[in-house]
Amino acid sequence: MKCPKCLSSIPEWNKACKCGYKLDFSKVPSPPRQIGLINDYEAIIGEQLGKMINLVNDIEKKTGIEIVVAILNNTKPLLPENYAFYLFNKWNLGKKDHRAILILVAMYERRVETEIGFGLEKYITEDETEKLLDEIIIPYFKQSKYGEGLYEALKALAKKLENLDLPPLKK
């Protein structure tokens, strides 16, 4: 994952970066409990939910990569990009290989953030995923078509992930 301050790579299990940035979870309220790969706490996805669940499950079966979506009202007291880093760690995404991508939607802040697990950073960058997601999600979100935007973005992300040349998963 990338340090929210200096953007250098740091493993998820490391709570501090060489630049001096430290994760102080003590002042952050506990996040909501993860309910699956699609976590729509604001009930905005609608009829796309079933298709999204099937898609992220298929991606995980084919590639070993977890794609987790979290839709929250807000990320206070953190900025959305810092909350994505915090949530990725708290939910322990990506298992042993740290092959996961978190897509965080912060409704109040009107932000979509991504967090890439340490095991994927050599193969796909946050800039790539954010560009891919922004180009698809933003037009849909401007029309309040949240489920459609997320589903189309997940389809595009799935296509990209299926073409990655990843080493075998650890057993």
The confidence score (pLDDT) of residue 153 equals 95
**Residues 146-162, mean pLDDT to the nearest whole number:** 95
**Does any domain span residue 104?**
yes
pLDDT tens readout for residues 119-139: 898 899 878 888 888 899 999
**Does any domain span residue 167?**
no
Structurally, the chain folds into a number of domains equal to 1
Percentage of residues in the chain having pLDDT higher than 70: 88
Any long-range contacts for 112-116 (C-beta under 8 Å, 24+ apart)? 112/137, 112/138, 112/141, 113/80, 113/81, 113/83, 113/84, 114/84, 115/1, 115/2, 115/84, 115/85, 115/87, 115/88, 116/1, 116/2
CATH number, domain with residue 77:
3.10.310.50
Q: Give the residue from 161, 4, 8, 1 showing the smallest Cα distance to 89.
A: 1
**Does any domain span residue 16?**
no
The confidence score (pLDDT) of residue 100 equals 96
How far from each other are the two terminal CA atoms of the chain, in whole angstroms? 22
The confidence score (pLDDT) of residue 13 equals 56
Q: Determine the structural domain holding residue 86 and report its residue range.
A: 25-162
Quote the CA–CA distance of 56 and 37 in Å, as a whole number: 7
Lowest-pLDDT choice from 68-82, 122-136, 145-159: 122-136
The confidence score (pLDDT) of residue 12 equals 53
**Does any domain span residue 6?**
no
